[in-house]
Structure 1
Amino acid sequence: MLSVPELDLLTIVLLLFAALAAGWVDAVVGGGGLIQLPALLLVPGITPVQALATNKLGSILGTATSSITYYRRVGPDLRTAGPMAVAALGGAVGGAALAALIPADLFKPVILLVLAGVLVFTLARPKLGEYDDLRWVGNGHRRIAAAIGLLIGGYDGLLGPGTGTFLVIALVSVLGYSFLPASAIAKIVNFATNLGALIFFVPAGHVIWTLGLGLGVANLVGAYIGARMAVARGSRFVRVVFVLVVAVLILRLGWDVADEWLS
């Protein structure tokens, strides 16, 4: 078992605050990895794979909490969430197995372009995600949901940040859900992707347990608050937070890409 590095009080406080904020953002619309994973990378001596694995442990407590909260208060369609989550779990296991082999830097420019397209698409359609307008029926609907889960699950195991955001926009723009039920389904699927990644990371010994569990408690609190706020305020609130999170993701990734190109 990996031991937690020696951390000063300020670093611990910052890590816990980052996990709390990440849990809130993840519960509302996804993208909490944008906050929690970079914070973990500031820990002295931690490797990128250890940070990714420990981030999954911290995140899974938050996604479990928000999934339960949404299930009780929104009642997401499990006929969509079920096959999507199973496929996403398998994709996450495969993605995690590749995480130590493929440089993350190769993916950042592509992800940046995709996020920019998502933001433009969302802003250009102000009514998008305001009401349910489901596409396909029966097995066709479930097959498309499973395909989305497999693709995004693979990305989550491989890299992670923005997974919940990608799930929400796919559920809204491809399957036709409004933002609130899309976020509810996304949490169930995101729990499965976190679990899938941990199925690989735990036996491989990449998880720093003490640190991950501490972050998990803070993530859990943020997730509970965020899910209740989303349910209380509805799809319009979720849409606003979604646009803000995507914009921040673009700025963050754009900064990283520019810094790498200039260095």
Structure 2
Amino acid sequence: MVSMELVVLLFFVAMLAGAVDAMAGGGGLITIPTLLAVGLPPETAIATNKIGGIAGTCAATLYFMRSGKIDIRRSIKIVATVAIGAVIGGWTLTNSDSKLLLHVVPVLLVLFSIYFVMSPKVGASDSRERMTPTIYAATLGPIIGFYDGYFGPGTGSLFAFSLVALLGFNLVKATAHAKLLNLSSNLASALFFGFTGSIAWTYAAPMLIGQLIGSTIGARMAVAYGHRLIRVVLSTVAIAISVRLSWHG
């Protein structure tokens, strides 16, 4: 039985995580350590976090779609391969103790952050496409999806950074599409974890509501304040995730 105090704590933690996640990704940096701190084992914490993640990414995706920031037809192939990668990542989590990704992801996030800091105009507007959506769907899409199914924190940041750098999206558009792709990976991995019985539903329920509210707030802020706010939040979250994962490893 989960106490009312814990329900309230999980709700507000999830609301904060949802707001951060909608703008830059990295909400799992807040929620997963919280779930571990209240006693859930790592696999259960990661699986349970996907439920709140679904609510948060769904709310943010719907808001971005209503704001005209998402091109569904251009993204459908990527959505599909991200989902496949996420299922494989979830299977790997439940059948392996590999720590390789926990060492690789911090390095990638730091490099992306340095790139953004050193290139202040990057993401201010759409730029030249360096990779087609089809190639992205066949390569980076399933790789990042795999990471989300396996662990998660920083997935939205990886999507946003890569969409700007490779598909030429501006930061607001990249953030919007990152939510759509993150929704795909969250749904796929949550279905897998649900079938394996890895989700602690009594912990997941208050987090679902909290992230639903927080993500709506964060998405509104991203659209209202644009690439300048997203740049600051994205770089800050990326560095924080890198430090956290490096320490964890």
Partner of residue 102, structure 1: 96
SS of aligned partner of 2:125: coil
Distance 1:197 1:178 in 2: 28
Higher alpha-carbon deviation: 115-124 or 28-37: 115-124
1:157-215 CA distance string (max 9 Å, x none): 11111100000001011111110000111111100000110121111111112221211
- Report the residue type matching 2:136 in the other structure: A
- Report the residue type matching 1:227 in the other structure: A
Partner of residue 16, structure 2: 21
1:77-105 CA distance string (max 9 Å, x none): 22332111111011111111111223254
Distance 1:12 1:118 in 2: 36
Partner of residue 34, structure 1: 29
**Match status 1:235 vs 2:230:** no
Query: What's the offset of the Cα at 1:153?
Result: 0.6
SS of aligned partner of 2:129: coil
SS of aligned partner of 1:133: coil
**Match status 1:213 vs 2:200:** no
Give the counterpart of 1:111 among 93, 105, 108.
Answer: 105
Query: What's the offset of the Cα at 1:149?
Result: 1.6
Long gaps (5+) in structure 2: none
**Match status 1:82 vs 2:76:** yes
Aligned 8 A contact 1:164 1:187 in 2: yes
**Match status 1:53 vs 2:47:** yes
Distance 1:74 1:145 in 2: 22
Partner of residue 195, structure 2: 203
Partner of residue 150, structure 2: 158
SS of aligned partner of 1:196: helix
Distance 1:108 1:154 in 2: 13
SS of aligned partner of 1:201: helix
Partner of residue 3, structure 1: none
Distance 1:105 1:11 in 2: 30
Report which of the two structures shows the higher radius of gyration computed on alpha carbons.
1
| Change in CA separation of 1:9 and 1:228 when aligned onto 2, cut-off 3 Å | same
| Change in CA separation of 1:185 and 1:116 when aligned onto 2, cut-off 3 Å | same
Distance 1:14 1:106 in 2: 32
Query: What's the offset of the Cα at 1:10?
Result: 4.2
SS of aligned partner of 1:99: helix
Distance 2:119 2:69 in 1: 26
1:68-127 CA distance string (max 9 Å, x none): 000001331223321111110111111111112232543322222222211211111111
Long gaps (5+) in structure 1: 1-5, 258-263
Partner of residue 261, structure 1: none
Aligned 8 A contact 1:62 1:221 in 2: yes
Partner of residue 71, structure 1: 65
**Match status 1:12 vs 2:7:** yes
Distance 2:132 2:231 in 1: 23
Query: What's the offset of the Cα at 1:252?
Result: 1.6
**Match status 1:128 vs 2:122:** yes
- Report the residue type matching 1:245 in the other structure: V
Q: TM-score, normalised by structure 2?
A: 0.94
Partner of residue 38, structure 2: 43
Distance 2:197 2:5 in 1: 27
